[in-house]
Structure 1
Amino acid sequence: MKEINVERIASEVKRLCIEAACDLPVDVEKLIVHAAQTEESDFGKYAMEKVCRNVKIARENEAPMCQDTGMVIAFVEIGQDVHITGGLLEDAINKGVSEGYVDGYLRKSTVIDPVFNRKNAGDNTPAIVYTTLVEGDELRITIMPKGAGSENMSKLKMLKPADGLEGVKRFIVDAVVNAGGNPCPPTIVGVGIGGNADKAMLLSKVALRREAGAPNPDPAYAELERDLLREINKSGVGPQGFGGRNTALAVQIETYPTHIATMPVAVTLNCHAARHKEVVL
C-alpha cells in the first residue's frame, strides 16, 4: 500500500495549474504550427501567426496564454493500492488550485452561486473533480483549465437510433460550424457518443485528454474522426472565425455502450489553447 500525503498532492496541483496556463502542450502546438503552415486565407494566416507568437511569448515569459485561465477540471485516476493520508483528496486538489491561481496571479473565474449570488470565489475554487479507481499503486492527476468561450459552445443531443451515422455526423458538424468564432478556432473537437446524457457529456471532455490528433483505436471511429475533420474544415469558418481552411485542429471521439432506444451525442469544444498538464505520483 503506497501512502501519499495531501500536502504533496496540493503542491503538485498548484504547479500544474500555473504551468498549464503558461505552457501549451507540445502535441497541441504541433497541430497549431501545421495549421499555420497550411492556412490559405490571408486573414487566417494573420490569425495563426498571432496564435503561434502568443504560444511562444507565454512559454518564454511564464505568462498566461489567455486572459481566461479557466475553471479547473481535474481528472484523477487513483490506484486501489493507494492510501491518501492527512486529509481528503478533493480538499487537497482545491487547495492546490487556490494556491496556484493566487500565487500564480491567474485570473479567478469561479462564482459562488450560479444564479443568485454570482460573487467571485476569489481563488478559482472549487475545481470540477472526476475520480476513477484503477489498478495499481499510482495516483495520476490531469489538470485541464477550461475557458468559458469554448465551454459555452457545448452541445448535447439525444438522437434516435434511426438517425444513424448521418444524423451523428450532421449534429457534430453543425455544432462546430454554428459556434463560429466564439470558441476561438481552430478548435479541438471532443465528442462523446453513448451512455446516457451525462455520460456522453463526460466522454466529450475525456476525449480532450487524449494526445491531440491521436486517432481513436477503433478503425471505424478513427475514420469517422477524419471524415468529420474534413467536413468541418470545408465550412470556411477558419482561424478565429476570420475565414480559412483551419476551423478545427482535430476531432476526437470517445464512446460507451448505450440503451437500445437512444443514441446520445455530446460535443465539447476546446479553443486552440487546449491546456492540460499531468503528474503521476
Structure 2
Amino acid sequence: MITEETIKNTVVELLKRAVTKLPPDIEDALNKAYQNETSDVAKMQLKAILDNIALAGETLTPMCQDTGVHIFYVTVGNVKTGNIEKAIRDGVKEATETVPLRPNAVHPLTRKNPGTNLGQNMPYINYSLSDAEYLEIQVMPKGAGSENMSQLAMLNPAHGVKGIKQFVLDTLLHAGSKPCPPVILGVGIGGSADISMKLAKKALLRPVTTRHPEKQIADLEEELLETLNETGIGPMGLGGKTTVLGVNIEYAACHTASHPVAVNIQCWAARRASAKIYEDKVEYGWFA
C-alpha cells in the first residue's frame, strides 16, 4: 500500500524540485536562445535568466518569487493508496512552510489569504486512471503573470486553421511582455470551452523538444513557433529573436457547430516535476 505519508512527502519534494530547478528541455532551450541571439539587450536578459536558474539550483531557493498556485495531474494505477487528496493538500501546506513557497491562494471575493496555499479547489487536482503498478503525480506551479494572459475563443467552424493561427498570434501580441517571455504556449483545440482550456494547460507538461505524434498537428506547432518568433517581442519584451520557446498543441473532437481554441501561456520559468510512487520506492524525473 502507498501511504498518505509517502504521498505527502513526495509532494513536498516535488514542489521543492519544481520551484528550484527547471526541466532540462526548458533550460536547454534557454541556453540555445542565448547562443542564437544577436541583440545585446536580448542576450543580457537571457544571461540574467540563466544566472538566476543556476543560483536557484545551487541554493535550493525558488527561481521566481511567484511560486504560483499548484496544479496537479494524478494518474492512479493498479495500486492501493491512502487518501490522495488529503495527502496532496498536507504536502502543499508543508512545502509552503519549508521550501518556502509564497502563499498565493486567496478567496476570489474576499481576497482573504490563509497563508497555506490551500483553499476551495486549490490545489487543483486532475485525476486519470491507468493499469500501471504505480501512482504518478505531476505538479505544475503556475504563476499569475502568464496565467492572466491566457485566452479562450469560441470560433466559427468556418474560421478553420486560419482562424486558429490568427487567434494564437493575437493572444501573444496582446500579452506582449506581461508573461515574462520567452514563453511556452499550450494550445487546446476542440472539445468544448472547458475541455480546450484543460487541454491547453496540460499541453504545457509536454517537453518543448517533442512534437505532437500526428503530422498535421506537429506541422502546425512548428509553423506557429516560427510565426510567433517573427513578432520580435523578444526576452522580457525588449526585442530579439526569441519570444517563444515552444508551442505544444493538444486537441479533442468537437461538436460540428463548434470550434473552440484556448491558449495557456507559460513564462520562461516553466516549472514542472513528476514522480512515480511504487509500494517500495519513489522515482523522480520529468516524465511528461
TM-score range, shorter chain: over 0.9
For the residue of structure 2 that corresponds to 1:56, the secondary structure is helix
2:73 equivalent among 75, 80, 91: 75
CA distance in 1, matches of 2:35, 2:124: 36
Specify the alignment match of 1:114 in structure 2: 108
Partner of 1:96: 91
Residue 261 of structure 1: how far off its partner (Å): 0.5
Q: Which amino acid aligns with 1:102?
A: E
Unaligned runs of 5+ in 2: 278-288
Q: In the alignment, is residue 22 of structure 1 matched against residue 17 of structure 2?
A: no
SS at match of 1:32: helix
Tell me whether 1:262 sits opposite 2:258 in the alignment.
yes
Q: What RMSD in Å do the two structures reach over aligned CA positions?
A: 0.9
Question: Hey, what's the Cα distance between the residues in 2 that align with 1:90 and 1:212?
Answer: 29
Q: Provide the identity percentage.
A: 43
Q: Determine whether 1:10 maps to 2:8.
A: yes
Deviations 1:66-125 (A, max 9, x none): 00000000000111x22223xx211111110110111112211111x201x211121112
Hey, which bits of structure 1, 4+ residues long, moved more than 2 A?
A: none
| Distance in 2 of aligned mates of 1:101 and 1:18 | 9
Give the aligned residue type for 2:80. Answer: H
The Cα offsets for residues 174-230 of structure 1, whole Å up to 9 and x where unpaired, read as 111210010000001000001100000000011001122311111111110111011
The CA distance in 2 between the partners of 1:67 and 1:136, in whole Å, is: 36
Contact residue 213 and residue 251 of structure 1 kept, 8 A? no
> How far apart in 1 are the matches of 2:173 and 2:55?
30
Q: Distance in 1 between matches of 2:207 and 2:125?
A: 20
The letter for the 2-side match of 1:114 is P
Q: Secondary structure at the match of 1:245?
A: coil
AA paired with 2:62?
A: P
Determine if the alignment matches structure 1 residue 186 to structure 2 residue 186.
no
- Structure 1 gap ranges (5+): none
SS in 1 for 2:125: strand
Question: SS of 1:4's equivalent?
Answer: coil
Q: Aligned residue for 2:55?
A: 57
Equivalenced residue count is 274
Give the TM-score normalised by the residue count of structure 1: 0.96
Aligned partners of 1:221, 1:40: CA distance in 2, in Å?
Answer: 31
